[in-house]
Structure 1
């Protein structure tokens, strides 16, 4: 949908993930105009701009903000830079669309969102796996009660990363990445699971967990497992790994009247969702009306709509904080050997200030 004046958008950080943001902006070309990119590596910024219509390269975000006055800024830098850069963009009046993980701790998240103003600018985080029509359709079925109560769930992000991946200096370190695969990889599937069940009004209540460093020479874990209880009493298992040659992303939810399973890797469409109805279940329309896959472009659409309406976008505020609090609880549970309840990690708790405690 064209809205008239196109939003002026900019990107900070021209690394690999920035390509997904550029593609998303180009998919919404009637609504947005990509005007600039900032990166400390000038050659990388120039190369990024060469694939755009007329974006201008910068080495400094502050200069970009002053000269271009963008409406929206994409943050595509390592997690340790997110708070400073997001607050700088918000202070300039620009809205922010920030890559995951949002930041390195709940304390940073609360500091970051305190820079927002009523009516905008706001910050939204890129949890693109919850986008797409099939996820929305399943969430709607849950909300209407057509599948019955969710009872048992499994959330799996078992990927493979070699030693060269961790040769990048900021990866695998608490101070710069904020955590291991629970923060940098599994956060997408965990956000999707929590988002889907929240559509039925259910929130996670407590978590028990274990983490390990089995292969990689890093500070953080390279595998984690968790047991989760939801407020409704539903139970879930969560596995995050970067040690798995047979890579898969998977969510399975057993409801009273159906088992629903999503199997994919980095993105999904309707055919990746499989419904198995219980014998006593009535007819259920399992396919969404339109098949829009999960993607950065699909996740960007509601951000643009929220900007036009002057309303908080999804994946921000309390909605964006949910999975980060869950990750903090997972790390605390693994470190302490006890169950951690939702809402217990606040100022004064060492796991509020950092995922390593």
Structure 2
């Protein structure tokens, strides 16, 4: 017997490991029954599986075994049972398995390490947990103060877990909720517990509010009030004429308006800060009475029956006109008898 050496590096977290078993000459009869696993510390389980080549003669064989569970030491030993023989039929170590004829051999061991870092990394920068942001990009910074950490793995939503470095940048994110996770890993690739951060991407602005109550146009009100509604959870920004938009609530009122045209606008702002299109209303404040001109009868005039009857284009009437920039809605005429102080009711002065 020459050696039983590890076939791969140690320490390892592999599910299976191999040893190279070398003899001083070609031998036959080598199989799994000729070997036994040595376990120490926290390693449990594991079993010898494949021995290649399956049939000799050969001077070098490869023995593969599962590494079981837990951390610790796993080795491979050859146990002489006189089944391994050279081409002349001589058994390993000589006939018999005791004393000077015992051909048993102790091989190299692996250090099995399947445990990752004990603590999750710390996420030091990125969207605030549970927040809603108006950006389709996100950058996360993270770190671990634990010794033995060799790198990190990251995952966004349902994407595959992949090696990453800090900061990890993501772009073109869809609207809605997202979840970022990061793990610290040791030099063997064992991962510890994850640190996670959830947030919501919202870049969609609210719809324009609905103005549900407003002054008529024209109006003689100099202190108008507006009522409006919008997206659930939204706040509002209002402005009158050339003023700047400012936070407001419904209803909002204004005072001291001058005569003329005015414009009211209101925008909705969601919790993320997205501001939607404005709803607007323009109206006219009219504080001037209509202008009236009486064309017949003349002021202080005296008329005969025929003159009166011919006064308004040949009919007995009072004529004139009324004008107003906002339009005249209606007109009314009253006749006062100066001598009696009475008004004409259509048939007599009362």
| TM > 0.5 | no
Q: TM-score by structure 2 length?
A: 0.16
Higher helix share: 1
Larger Cα-atom Rg: 2
Q: TM-score by structure 1 length?
A: 0.16
Higher RCO by CA contacts (8 Å cutoff, separation 6 or greater)? 1
